[in-house]
A and B are shown apart, each in its own frame.
Chain A
Amino acid sequence: MKNILKDWAIEIVILLIAIVLAVFNPSKVSSALLSATKTYLNLIIVLVAVVLLSSFISATIPKQTIGKIIGKQSGLKGMLIGAIFGTLMVGPAYMFYPFFKELRDKGAGANIIATTIGAWAIKAPWIPFAITVLGWKFTLLFNGLIFVFAILSGFFVGAFFKE
């Protein structure tokens, strides 16, 4: 019981916040619940894919294989793989945290995961839209700097992990 409470502490706190707010402002909270449900439905296919992919990797791919491709020792090459993957993906990075955890458990380096999450800030499919709104100079420089940041982030975080 105590473990369940600990494991779900965040969700319980959020539930309590929602209940308290609902007492004061029921209409805002009910519309928030509606919009959360919409977000969930929009992302449910991504979630199914992430979950299936995580458990597939966990069940079938040996630890050494993951370690070889994106282990800490893969260095810049592994980070580039992560950076490209992160750049191409849209949707919130936190949806992929269970997947990253699975990869970490299988030997992926902290540096690679940090770079991947860093590059997630680049939304490749949205770049054309960003250019029309913010101008090409701003958009390209901005995304170029994020890419450099993502690689540096891998080096920085990696420096603190031995494995």
Chain B
Amino acid sequence: MNTNIIEGIVLLALVLALYIVYFFRGDRKKLVDASKKSGKMFIQNSVRLFAIFVIIAILEKFLSPKSVSQFLLKFKGFTGIIVGALTGAIMMAPAATSYPIGQYLLSHNASYSLVAAFLFTWVGIGVVALPLEFKFLGKKFTLLRNSFTFIAAILIALLMGVLL
């Protein structure tokens, strides 16, 4: 079964347990407020997330794993790390999708560094989700966090290259 569904069920069970405990121990009026707020938040975030999912799905239709790997295999050395990091930042599919691509790249003589940079920004930076981060966490936070992550991607890539 899909890990997201399993995670969802576990999380939801924990949250519902919180609600139940609070129902008997705490201020029930506050729970009513929480439920009301939840309804509104659910609708708003459904629309926002669905829009992001649409863009991700469109990207997926145009960037197949095969074309992405063949593109990355053209680059070597430091340029390879940068191109790998930039490409990973654009990719937005679940992490599990990225591992076989990494394996394919490694088996075709791509460097550990390039693969590490690519796999790291794949999960660490999502260009498509940046507007959401802007909206919820602020411009300053988003810019600082993502530029640090990009620099870290290059450092991690170099370190992996040295250590492996």
Q: Give A residues with C-beta under 8 Å from B.
A: 8, 10-11, 14-15, 17-18, 21, 28-29, 31-33, 35-37, 39-40, 42-56, 58-60, 89-95, 97-98, 100-101, 104, 110, 113-114, 117-118, 120-121, 123, 125-126, 129-130, 133-134, 137-138, 141-142, 145-146, 149, 152-153, 156-157, 160-161
Q: B164 touches which one: A55, A113, A138 (CB < 8 A)?
A: A138
Q: Is the Cβ of B57 less than 8 Å from the Cβ of A45?
A: no
Q: Give B residues with C-beta under 8 Å from A.
A: 2-5, 7-9, 11-12, 14-16, 18-19, 22, 26-27, 30-31, 33-35, 37-38, 41-42, 45-58, 60-62, 92, 94-96, 99-100, 102-103, 106, 112, 115-116, 119-120, 123-124, 126, 129, 131-133, 135-137, 140-141, 144-145, 148-149, 152, 156, 159-160, 163-164
Tell me the minimal C-beta distance from A111 to chain B in angstroms.
10
Q: Is the Cβ of B99 less than 8 Å from the Cβ of A133?
A: yes
In the complex where A42-B2, A89-B7, A133-B103 touch, is A32 in contact with B145 (Cβ < 8 A)? no
Q: How far is the CA of A58 from the CA of B15 in the complex (A)?
A: 14
Apart from A123-B95, A157-B141, A160-B140, list 8 A-B contacts with CB within 8 A. A59-B33, A91-B3, A92-B92, A94-B133, A104-B137, A120-B123, A133-B99, A146-B120
Summarize A's interface: helix, strand, loop or mixed: helix
Tell me the minimal C-beta distance from B50 to chain A in angstroms.
5
Q: B46 touches which one: A40, A55, A89, A157 (CB < 8 A)?
A: A40
Please name all residues of chain B whose beta carbon is closer than 8 Å to the beta carbon of A60 when the two chains form the complex.
22, 26-27, 30-31, 34
Tell me the minimal C-beta distance from B28 to chain A in angstroms.
11
Please name all residues of chain B whose beta carbon is closer than 8 Å to the beta carbon of A137 when the two chains form the complex.
164
Q: Is the Cβ of B95 less than 8 Å from the Cβ of A126?
A: yes
Which of A29, A33, A46, A129 counts the most chain B CB atoms within 10 A? Answer: A46
Please name all residues of chain A whose beta carbon is closer than 8 Å to the beta carbon of B92 when the two chains form the complex.
92
Q: Is the Cβ of B15 less than 8 Å from the Cβ of A52?
A: yes
What's the A-B contact tally at a CB cutoff of 8 Å? 231
Tell me the minimal C-beta distance from A84 to chain B in angstroms.
15
In the complex where A52-B19, A90-B3, A97-B137 touch, is A11 in contact with B159 (Cβ < 8 A)? no
Please name all residues of chain B whose beta carbon is closer than 8 Å to the beta carbon of A117 when the two chains form the complex.
145
Q: Is the Cβ of B96 less than 8 Å from the Cβ of A31?
A: no
Tell me the minimal C-beta distance from A107 to chain B in angstroms.
15
Q: How far is the CA of A129 from the CA of B16 in the complex (A)?
A: 31
Tell me the minimal C-beta distance from B140 to chain A in angstroms.
7
Chain B residue, CB-CB nearest to A114 = B145
Q: How far is the CA of A60 from the CA of B14 in the complex (A)?
A: 16
Tell me the minimal C-beta distance from B11 to chain A in angstroms.
4
Q: How far is the CA of A46 from the CA of B103 in the complex (A)?
A: 30
Please name all residues of chain B whose beta carbon is closer than 8 Å to the beta carbon of A58 when the two chains form the complex.
34, 37
Q: Is the Cβ of B18 less than 8 Å from the Cβ of A40?
A: no
Chain A residue, CB-CB nearest to B12 = A49
